Structures are given as C-alpha cells and as structure tokens.
Amino acid sequence: MSRACREIERNILRLLHGRETRTQLREIHAHFLRHGLNQLNQILSHFVSICGSLNKMAYANRIFKQTQNPTIILFNAMIKGYSLNGPFEESFRLFSSMKNRGIWPDEYTLAPLLKACSSLGVLQLGKCMHKEVLVVGFEGFSAIRIGVIELYSSCGVMEDAEKVFDEMYQRDVIVWNLMIHGFCKRGDVDMGLCLFRQMRKRSVVSWNIMISCLAQSRRDSEALGLFHDMLDWGFKPDEATVVTVLPICARLGSVDVGKWIHSYAKSSGLYRDFVAVGNALVDFYNKSGMFETARRVFDEMPRKNVISWNTLISGLALNGNGELGVELLEEMMNEGVRPNDATFVGVLSCCAHAGLFERGRELLASMVEHHQIEPKLEHYGCMVDLLGRSGCVREAYDLIRIMPGGAPNAALWGSLLSACRTHGDVELAHLAVKELIDLEPWNSGNYVLLSNMYAEEERWDKVANVRGMMREKNVKKTPGQSVIG
C-alpha cells in the first residue's frame, strides 16, 4: 500500500473514532468508496464496529455483503454487532458461514457468541458453544470465562457458573457482579449478599445490583441500609441508583432520604441528563402524598417523555385529583406527546376516582377510534371500577362478559363484588364470588365471603356446602377470618 493510501486509511479511522464525526457514516462510507478502499477488511471492520455501537446493523450488513473476501476481523465485528443488538440468531448464521469458508474462530469470535446465547436464554445452545470453546482450547481467556459465567448465571444454572468462577485465579468486578445477579435472580438473595460482602473491589454497578435485588425481594429496609453503606464507602450514586432507591424511599416513607436524593440529582447533573431520574422523582413525591412538589418537579424537567406524563397522571388518581388528570391528557396531546396504553390506564383510573362516568366511556371508545390502542384487562378493570362506583353494577357485569382480549381475572371480579356489596346487589355478588372461587380455588377468603353471605340470608344448607367444598379442596382458613356454621 502506498504512503498516500495509508494516510487516507488513517484519516478514515480518525473520522470513525472521532466523537463528533463517528455518526456521519454515509459520508465516511462515501469517502473510502471514492478512494477504492471498500474491500479493505481493516477499515471495514472498524466501520462495522461503529455501526454496531450505534445499533445500525442493517447498514453494517449491506457493507458486509458487498465484501468479496471477508477475513476473521470483519466476521468478528459483524458477530459482535449482532450479539449486542440482535437479531442474536444472525451471530450464529455468520459463524456458520465463517466456518464454511475455512476460517478458524478465535477468542474474539467465541466471546460474542456466548453473549448471544445469554441474550437468547437458550441453555442448550450455550452448552454447545461452551463445548466449542473447550475444543479449541480458549477457556483460559478472560473474556471467554466472563461469557461462560454470564451464560450459566443468566440461565439460572449457578452450579456450572460456580465451577468456572472457582477455577478463576483473578476475578474482576464484572465476574463478581454476574455471580451475584445470577444467585439473586434464582431467588437466593442471601447467597448473592454473601458474595457481595466478599468482594474486595466493588463498582457502582455492584451496589446497584445488590440494592435492586434486595428491593425486589421486599427487603426494603436492608436495601436502604445498603444505600447508606454505599455513600459511607465514598461511592457516588448514578442514575440507576437513584431510580432504584427512590421507590424504596416511597414505600418506607423515608421522605428525608428521597429529598436528599433529589438535591443530589440536581447538583450532580443526573436530573438534567437522565429523564428517568425526573420520572422517578415525580413518582416518589406522588407516592409520598406530595403532589404539588411532584407537579413542580415535572414542570421543571428539562426533558419529558410519555412515561413522565403517565407518572404524573397516575399520581393524580392516587392523590384524589382525577379531574386534573383527565385535563392533563389534553395538555399532553397538545404538547405533541402521543399517549400509550399506560396513559389510558392512568386517565381511566382518574375518571373512576373522580366519578367521571361519561368521560370514562368516551375515553375507552377513543382509545380504538382515535389512537388505535386496543383496550387490555387493565383498561376494562378501570371501567368496571368506574361503573361500580357509579352504581351501574349490571352494566359493569355486562362489560366483563363481552370484553375482548382475554378472560376476566380475579381483580375484575373482585372490583365487581365490592360494588355489588356497596350497592346491595346480592344476586350478582353471589355470582362474582363463585367466579372468584373458580379463579382462585386456593384463596380461603373467597369461600369465607361466600359462606358469610349465605349466613346473612340464613341459608344454612349453603353454608354447609361451602365448608364441604373447602374440605374437599383442602383449603385452610386464614387466621382471623370466620366461617359461620
């Protein structure tokens, strides 16, 4: 290659890896086409890598198909791109094509393939790939071992993950995080916590994983305690920490901690840079009963998305200001934000809490007519609640019977039952309880409720039948409930 060509190649690589120029793919592509470098694997592999980092694998694939003699570095770049962005199956199609060309894989081929197996969650395919690693003797490479541990931990096969983990002399923080997350995902949070305590070096991700796993296991007090430990150790929370800890503060009523996080998010720039942080703050203040502050945070957010609006609308329903929630839907659309199905769950819930009977009907109809959103169980649940609160229990029952999109669940029948008891429709209440028993044959509360309803009517033979049903199905009465017999 001439000196001039080498200089052009260096210039193209600078453009590809420059912060301001790397997104100008078409211009860079035209540049190396113009200089006849479109078959140079070195440049193409860098180009494909950048496409992968920008989630533009369709463009990368077009370039790849025009390459006459792709080498291993180009195949590896393509395989890695698909392993990160999907479709993950394309990684294996390329691997097969590569082998058919007689190109032998290296560690940079197999590590992304293991990643693709993890993303697909197909254990058998992953085991085949692990076998391939052992055949070629690459099991000692760090990236390969990380890939194997990620595979087994993501599939919940922690015994196999532990074997690889135990054989590693040097374990970086990524490996520890994978093991901790794997055990927690399988439900063994105590084992995950034990490994976390053993770590000599941790990252913010390590703390986030453990705090999140404790919260998901309803161990909120421990999760918040770990957050305080994180601060004591000098770690600075990132956006994931904030989004994880704020709901914990809301559930525990730790308003002072939530306010401190709000202050930290503003001073650190997280509030400015991540819309999810603003959304989490709005949700926190809503759930803490501080709607005015939630609204102020919402209004001050530098960027908003549909989740921002949905969070505020749902908070209005929660705080008993349903009429304003319905008004927000109009404001949201005027701002050019398109509502989604979650928006309508929030707005219909607002209608139910505010008793906006006709408006709720209009909104349910407009979902399909104007927004092409098919109502789901959650939307019908809101309407049943709205109709029930308005005393239209028969109409609520008819809606449950004719609604498309799946069988009614226990929440729907429970909502109808509550309305029937409030408005004295005994016949429909009996029917709703029987439906609940069919859906939840293990729930003693439903049997107790039916038995007590029969007892109120002095239908003692029916009471005895209910008790017989409980014995037949081996349903145990929860302490504190009474079955009159």
Q: What is the mean pLDDT of residues 292-313?
A: 94
Share of the chain above pLDDT 90, in %: 49
Rg (CA), the chain: 29
Mean pLDDT, all residues of the chain: 87
Q: How far is it, in rounded angstroms, from Cα 280 to Cα 247? A: 7
Instruction: Give the closest residue to 147 by CA, choosing from 172, 173, 170, 116.
Output: 116
Prediction pTM value: 0.81
Q: What is the mean pLDDT of residues 217-234?
A: 97
Q: How far is it, in rounded angstroms, from Cα 57 to Cα 52? A: 6
Q: Please provide the size of the chain in residues.
A: 485
Q: Is the pLDDT of residue 4 over 60?
A: no
Regarding predicted confidence, which is higher, 293 or 34?
293
Per-residue pLDDT tens over the stretch 359-378: 988 998 899 888 889 888 88
Given the structure tokens 């698909």, which residue do they identify? 82
Q: List the domain boundaries for the chain.
A: 171-236
Maximum distance among all alpha carbons in the chain?
102
Q: Is the pLDDT of residue 334 over 60?
A: yes
- Give me the pLDDT at residue 97, please: 93
- Give me the pLDDT at residue 3, please: 61
- Give me the pLDDT at residue 448, please: 78
Q: Any idea which of 212-221, 290-299, 317-326, 347-356 has the lowest mean pLDDT?
A: 317-326
Q: How far is it, in rounded angstroms, from Cα 169 to Cα 410? A: 53
Per-residue pLDDT tens over the stretch 400-439: 888 876 678 888 888 888 888 788 787 888 888 888 888 8
Inter-residue contact 146 to 175 (CB < 8 Å): yes
Inter-residue contact 396 to 411 (CB < 8 Å): no
Q: Is the pLDDT of residue 458 over 90?
A: no
Phi-psi category of 480—alpha, beta or left, where left has phi over 0 and alpha has psi -120 to 50?
Answer: left
- Model confidence at 221, in pLDDT bands (50, 70, 90)? very high
Q: Is the pLDDT of residue 129 over 60?
A: yes
- Model confidence at 483, in pLDDT bands (50, 70, 90)? very low
Regarding predicted confidence, which is higher, 237 or 410?
237
Regarding predicted confidence, which is higher, 15 or 30?
30
